[in-house]
Structure 1
Amino acid sequence: MYLVQSRHRPATRGITGLSEAVVDLSAIRDNVRTLRRRVPQDVLAVVKADAFGHGAVPVARAAVEAGATWLGVARADEALQLRAAGLTVPILTWLYDAAELMLLGDMDVDVSVSTVADLQRVVSIPNVHYVHLKLDTGLHRAGSAPDQWIELTRTAAHYEALGAVTVRGIWSHLSHGDSADAVQSMRQLQVLRTGVGLARRAGLRPSVVHLANSAGAVTLDAPDCSLVRIGAGLYGIDEMALGLRPAMRLMSKLAQVRRIRAGEGVSYGHDFVTDRDTTIGLVPIGYADGIPRVAVRQASVWCHGVRMPVIGRIAMDQFVIDAGDIAVEPGEPVTIFGDGSSGEPTASDWADWAGTIPHEIYCGIGSRVPRRYQEGNR
Structure 2
Amino acid sequence: MGRRRNGSDASLSQDRRRGGGRAGALPHEAAAVARAVVTSRHLRLEGVYGHPMTSYGFEDESYLLGQLRGFKQAITAIEAAGIAIPIRMVSSSAIVLGYPEADWNAVDPGRLVVGMSFPAVEERKAVWRPALVGLKSRLVLVKSLAEIGAVYPAPFLPLRPQMRIGLIPIGWSDGYPHRMPEGATALIRGQRVRLLGPSHSELLRVDLSDISDAAIGDEVVLLGQSGEDAIGLTELADQWGVTTRDLFPIIGKTLPHRYFG
For Structure 1 versus Structure 2, the TM-score category normalised by the shorter chain is 0.7 to 0.9
> Are residues 1:283 and 2:168 paired?
yes
> Are residues 1:157 and 2:35 paired?
yes
Distance 1:189 1:288, change over 3 A: same
Distance 1:272 1:223, change over 3 A: same
Max radius of gyration: which structure? 2
> Are residues 1:141 and 2:22 paired?
yes
> Are residues 1:204 and 2:89 paired?
no
TM-score, structure 1 length as denominator? Answer: 0.55
Q: Which amino acid aligns with 2:8?
A: N
C-alpha distance in structure 2 between counterparts of 1:203 and 1:242, whole Å:
40
Does the Cα contact within 8 Å between 2:170 and 2:201 map onto a contact in 1? Answer: yes
Shift of 1:257: 2.4
Shift of 1:184: 3.7
- 2:122 is matched with none
- Residue of 210, 213, 216 corresponding to 1:325: 210
> Are residues 1:242 and 2:126 paired?
yes
- 2:100 is matched with 221
TM-score, structure 2 length as denominator? Answer: 0.77
- 1:336 is matched with 222
Distance 1:174 1:274, change over 3 A: farther
C-alpha distance in structure 1 between counterparts of 2:86 and 2:139, whole Å:
54
C-alpha distance in structure 1 between counterparts of 2:107 and 2:139, whole Å:
42
Shift of 1:258: 2.8
- 1:186 is matched with 65
Does the Cα contact within 8 Å between 1:260 and 1:277 map onto a contact in 2? Answer: yes
Q: Which amino acid aligns with 1:260?
A: L
C-alpha distance in structure 2 between counterparts of 1:339 and 1:143, whole Å:
45
Superposed CA RMSD in Å reads 3.5
Q: Which amino acid aligns with 2:10?
A: H
- Residue of 181, 196, 213 corresponding to 1:296: 181
Distance 1:281 1:171, change over 3 A: same
C-alpha distance in structure 1 between counterparts of 2:43 and 2:53, whole Å:
29
- 1:132 is matched with 13
SS at match of 1:317: coil
Does the Cα contact within 8 Å between 1:246 and 1:338 map onto a contact in 2? Answer: no
C-alpha distance in structure 2 between counterparts of 1:128 and 1:351, whole Å:
47
Paired residues in the alignment total: 248
Does the Cα contact within 8 Å between 1:270 and 1:312 map onto a contact in 2? Answer: no
Deviations 1:183-242 (A, max 9, x none): 543222111111111121233222112222223111012255222212221111246973
- 1:64 is matched with none
Shift of 1:275: 5.3
SS at match of 2:231: coil
Does the Cα contact within 8 Å between 1:253 and 1:334 map onto a contact in 2? Answer: yes
Shift of 1:329: 2.3
Distance 1:307 1:169, change over 3 A: farther
User: Percent identity, aligned pairs only?
Assistant: 21
Distance 1:212 1:157, change over 3 A: same
C-alpha distance in structure 2 between counterparts of 1:348 and 1:138, whole Å:
34
- 1:373 is matched with 259
Deviations 1:137-194 (A, max 9, x none): 2333333234xx43x5324324413443122121222222588995543222111111
5+ residue gaps, structure 1, are 1-121
Q: Which amino acid aligns with 2:17?
A: D
> Are residues 1:174 and 2:52 paired?
yes
Q: Which amino acid aligns with 1:331?
A: G
Deviations 1:315-371 (A, max 9, x none): 122101224423322222112223899653344544454454555544444565222
Does the Cα contact within 8 Å between 2:31 and 2:81 map onto a contact in 1? Answer: yes
Q: Which amino acid aligns with 2:80?
A: R
5+ residue gaps, structure 2, are 120-124
> Higher helix proportion, which one?
1
C-alpha distance in structure 2 between counterparts of 1:211 and 1:251, whole Å:
38
C-alpha distance in structure 2 between counterparts of 1:215 and 1:159, whole Å:
29
Distance 1:292 1:128, change over 3 A: farther
Does the Cα contact within 8 Å between 1:294 and 1:354 map onto a contact in 2? Answer: no
C-alpha distance in structure 2 between counterparts of 1:227 and 1:342, whole Å:
43
Does the Cα contact within 8 Å between 1:296 and 1:314 map onto a contact in 2? Answer: no
Distance 1:262 1:195, change over 3 A: farther
Which shows bigger deviation, 129-138 or 237-246? Answer: 237-246
C-alpha distance in structure 2 between counterparts of 1:193 and 1:320, whole Å:
55
SS at match of 1:251: strand
